[in-house]
Amino acid sequence: MDCLFCKIIGGEIPADKVYEDDYVFAFRDINPIAPVHDLVIPKKHICCANAVNAENSEYAARIFEAVPKIAKAENIESYRIINNCGEDAGQSVMHLHFHLLGGVKMGWGEDSLGKTE
């Protein structure tokens, strides 16, 4: 399958790995928007949040179990998790991923940290 994140999981494309277990892979975003900016992804190809279902929801659960461990490894107690689902929301890679952002005081609303392009 021609999926960038599947290739990263498979080791075909290098990434700065921060965490891995049987279900979850996490690595540093190549274009960080915060001092800590990791991508937390399922080790199974799920295109987006819309495709999470009873059959694959174990992966979603495992992602949320892994997040506190990743945050701890990155030395942050406070963080934001973002999922962009679909084109209008800014999803550019069609493999489910959660942005884990931290290491900076974040605003909300107009001041919020996010992509503007």
**22: phi then psi, degrees, rounded to nearest 5:** -65, -25
Q: Tell me whether strands 17-20 and 36-42 are parallel, antiparallel or unpaired.
A: unpaired
Q: Return the one option of Zn ion, ligand AMP, none that residue 6 interacts with (CB less than 5 to 8 A, by type).
A: Zn ion
Q: Pick one of 6, 23, 29, 106: the residue that binds ligand AMP (CB under 6 A).
A: 29
Q: Residue 15, SS3?
A: coil
Q: Pick one of 37, 95, 97, 99: the residue that binds Zn ion (CB under 5 A).
A: 95
Q: How far is the CB of 107 from Zn ion (least distance, A)?
A: 32
CA distances for 45 relative to 7, 76, 87, 97, angstroms: 10, 28, 18, 10
Q: How far is the CB of 30 from Zn ion (least distance, A)?
A: 16
Judge whether 42 and 60 are in contact, CB under 8 Å.
yes
30 near ligand AMP, rule: CB under 6 A: yes
Contact set with ligand AMP (CB under 6 A): 4, 13, 15, 29-31, 39, 84, 90-93
- Residues marked active site are found at 97
